[in-house]
């Protein structure tokens, strides 16, 4: 499954949690978070608490791999952002 947004990630987490027969409360306890965080994560709410997300994934046995193609080219958006940062540094 390719995770392309927070809703897809949340759905994947919910699916794995249920397949393991784990409640949201149990997952929260064993991953060092709280039930509200697990609920919001499963609902796909955006969060900046990456450490907690990674803890939940590890608790469920989900590995996170970053795949960077050898011929990776920055996106147009990334190139534009880099130009703006460079311009701002010169000002």
Please report the DSSP string for 18-87 in residue order. Answer: HHTT--HHHHHHHHTS-HHHHHHHHTT---S-HHHHHHHHHHTT--------TT----HHHHHHHHHHHH
> Tell me, what's the pLDDT at 49?
83
Residue 30 included in any domain? yes
Residue 16 included in any domain? yes
Residue 71 included in any domain? no
Residue 1 included in any domain? no
Q: Report, as an integer, the average pLDDT of 51-56.
A: 85
> Tell me, what's the pLDDT at 43?
93
Residue 86 included in any domain? no
User: CATH number of the domain that 55 lies in?
Assistant: 1.10.260.40
Angle between helices 6-19 and 50-59 (to 10 degrees): 30
* 17: containing domain: 6-59
> Tell me, what's the pLDDT at 90?
55
Give the pLDDT confidence of 66-91 residue by residue, as tens digits. 666 666 565 565 556 556 555 655 55
> Based on the structure, what is the number of domains in the chain?
1
Residue 70 included in any domain? no
> Tell me, what's the pLDDT at 30?
92
Report pTM: 0.63
Are 48 and 41 in contact by the 8 Å Cβ rule? The answer is: no
> Tell me, what's the pLDDT at 29?
93
Distance CA 24, CA 34 (A): 9
Q: Report, as an integer, the average pLDDT of 4-10.
A: 83
């Amino acid at each position: 499954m390719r995770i392309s947004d927070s809703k897809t990630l949340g759905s994947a987490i919910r699916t794995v949690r249920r397949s393991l027969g784990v409640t949201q409360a149990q997952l929260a306890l064993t991953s060092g978070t709280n039930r509200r965080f697990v609920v919001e994560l499963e609902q796909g709410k955006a969060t900046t608490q990456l450490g907690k997300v990674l803890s939940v994934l590890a608790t469920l046995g989900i590995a996170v791999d970053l795949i960077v193609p050898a011929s990776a080219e920055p996106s147009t958006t990334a190139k534009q952002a880099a130009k703006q940062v460079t311009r701002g540094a010169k000002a």
